[in-house]
Chains A and B, each alone.
Chain A
């Protein structure tokens, strides 16, 4: 599904990623952990194609295609989705209209007609129920005045609607209380299947109690320094990252 080889990347002239290697197969859930400033969110942005992030070396393959030069919208059309840490407010555009536009633009790129409105409505209802979102919420302006929890729930709602093959969840747990966290994680797990993959980026292990990863990677100073299974996340929760630094030296 996703293969990242020796990825180096610069932001505003500063090197952030210094040789990331990562391979995610179909149906797998991977987690990336790491201290602040280690390059976790940069990796999410680079995978999604943020134009401020310059790839200086290495490559990103998605479904066998090199996507280094793909625009964010092209990657979305290919099936990459990113849940944002800080979703943007769009006054005057409702959640429903926004998701309709997103879905139909993706369909347009594949030469498909717009989704019939009956089908769209049914799907919206179904996915909203999955995330315990009520219909009033859907007619509000996108993210405008949403609480932190509502914003994250809305991100996962969009993910559920767009049915990506690779979902990158950037700090989806930040700002969530435990109840909201459960709803969001539950939504992700219900969408996860043998044909798609999830990359969870997080500071804390607690999200991984609910979105259980097959693999955990620790990123420090722009590199993957350690990979393991879910027990690695538990160990980090207990004793922090320092031992990995020592390991490295």
Chain B
């Protein structure tokens, strides 16, 4: 039995576990039907031309964690950014861990989706938002929808701003040899509110884990959302991240994606504009080695006038690693005075590493400013000579240049602690200790 067949067959067992009367259940069933029709994407599809899921679909993944884990705070503490006081939603092998989390219903909801689905007081909100911006033709999104059960649920009411960043952490223990996880997050940020969210997927030991995650973010009028994705998982873990963002007028949403780890990572990041004067920022730093593969697949749909989008992705590739950037910008006819910028710059450290970069601009309005640029190059030899002539050894000199190359992506990280952490991850990744926090 193929893994795809297993997913279809296991749905009956999954249904034993969820409330079949919940209105979203028909959406689950419809989504499963769509997944059954299309199956997993293959390289024949334009947007999957350079990324094959074949290698990760060979295994017979378990869809359920085996038993309760004994993970304690000390096992995972290093992955948290702030002390235990800030809000955290923590999952172990896909199961919510109340013990490691700090949630609230006081003035805002920072909790889990299963709770939001089961309580009637959330019904109208779930009905209004759940699965509303998820494209029906994306089979991995459909697969996630069909198995919707657990994930983070964040509702920030009007004019409210939590002080610290909210952390969504997914740990996998390795108690099972191979595990398939499908967290489902729903984030609603109401008018005039501001929130910072950090999300991380982390295996605690080597094992085959694939996460097919889906996050919906609704940024209402004049809201401000900063979302940071830290992808620094072990080399046995793969991630398919589907993030769909709906922005109302005057809202400002930025997503930073730091991809340093993992075996295969695919980031589907889609922005949909629902009003005027919107600002969208998509930034990323990718640093890969060995056989790692990261694919950034972005879409910004400018559907209203006077909006801006800024994309800036930097990639540094060593060994046989592969990077893909596929950035699509659509400017509808009505979306006059759009400013849309896209930049993807890459450095190949070894001649066996590879980058496929493809900007796609579809512009139907006539009064817009759009620009895109992509480069694939190597570290500048003159710059390297400059650093080495100052007594800085080859490895450290390359690390400094790499850091300088990626630096402007870090400039927009608004959480100082996070910036420090990312700097340290970059230094680790480059195998250097420069004696100062970059």
CB within 8 Å of B: which residues of A?
Answer: 45, 48-52, 71-73, 75-77, 80-82, 84, 86-93, 97-98, 100-106, 109, 114, 141, 158, 162
Contact = CB atoms under 8 A, between A and B. Distances in A.
Given A73-B391, A109-B391, A162-B391, A84 B404 contact: no
A95 to B, nearest CB: 12
Given A100-B435, A101-B396, A101-B436, A72 B385 contact: yes
Given A88-B383, A102-B392, 20 more contacts: A51-B381, A51-B385, A71-B394, A72-B385, A72-B388, A73-B394, A73-B397, A76-B388, A76-B389, A77-B391, A82-B389, A89-B404, A90-B383, A90-B401, A91-B407, A92-B404, A97-B434, A101-B400, A101-B434, A103-B391
A114 B397 CA distance: 18
Contacts of A109: 391
Nearest to A94: B436
Interface residues of B, number: 28
B329 to A, nearest CB: 26
Nearest to A86: B382
Given A52-B381, A100-B436, A101-B392, A93 B386 contact: no
B26 interface: no
A106 B390 CA distance: 8
Contacts of A73: 388-389, 391-394, 397
A158 B410 contact: no
Contacts of B382: 86, 88
Contact of A102 (B381, B390, B410, B438): B390
B435 A114 contact: yes
5 smallest beta-carbon distances between A and B, as pairs = A92-B407, A76-B391, A72-B388, A102-B390, A106-B391
Interface string B368-386: 0000000000001111011
A92 B403 contact: yes
Contacts of B403: 92-93
B408 interface: yes
B416 to A, nearest CB: 14
24 contacts: A50-B385, A51-B385, A52-B381, A71-B388, A71-B394, A72-B388, A73-B391, A73-B397, A76-B389, A84-B389, A88-B380, A88-B382, A88-B383, A88-B387, A90-B387, A91-B404, A91-B407, A92-B403, A92-B404, A92-B410, A101-B396, A101-B400, A102-B392, A106-B391
Count chain B CB atoms within 10 A of each CB in A50, A100, A114, A141 and give the residue with the most: A50
B386 to A, nearest CB: 4
Interface string B401-438: 10110011011000000000000000000000011101
Contacts of A80: 389
Nearest to B385: A50
B390 A162 contact: yes
B389 A48 contact: yes
A105 B396 contact: yes
Interface in B335-389: 380-383, 385-389
A87 B380 CA distance: 13
A48 B390 CA distance: 10
B312 to A, nearest CB: 13
Nearest to B407: A92
A77 B387 CA distance: 13
Contacts of A89: 404
Contacts of A162: 390-391
A87 B386 CA distance: 7
A77 B388 CA distance: 10
Nearest to A158: B390
A136 B78 CA distance: 35
Nearest to B386: A88
A114 B434 CA distance: 11
A162 B400 CA distance: 19
A103 B411 CA distance: 27
Contacts of B386: 84, 87-88
A75 B385 CA distance: 12
A83 to B, nearest CB: 10
A71 B395 CA distance: 13
Contacts of B401: 90
Contacts of A75: 389
Given A88-B386, A92-B438, A102 B391 contact: yes
Nearest to A71: B388
Contacts of B438: 92-93, 97
B82 to A, nearest CB: 24
Nearest to B391: A76
A164 to B, nearest CB: 10
B391 A105 contact: yes
A104 B400 contact: no
Contacts of B434: 97, 101
A188 to B, nearest CB: 17
A160 to B, nearest CB: 13
Contacts of B435: 100-101, 104, 114
A105 B411 CA distance: 27
A175 B435 CA distance: 34
A97 B385 CA distance: 18
Among B381, B392, B401, B410: residue with most chain A CB under 10 A: B392
A102 B388 CA distance: 9
A237 to B, nearest CB: 30
Contacts of A98: 390, 400
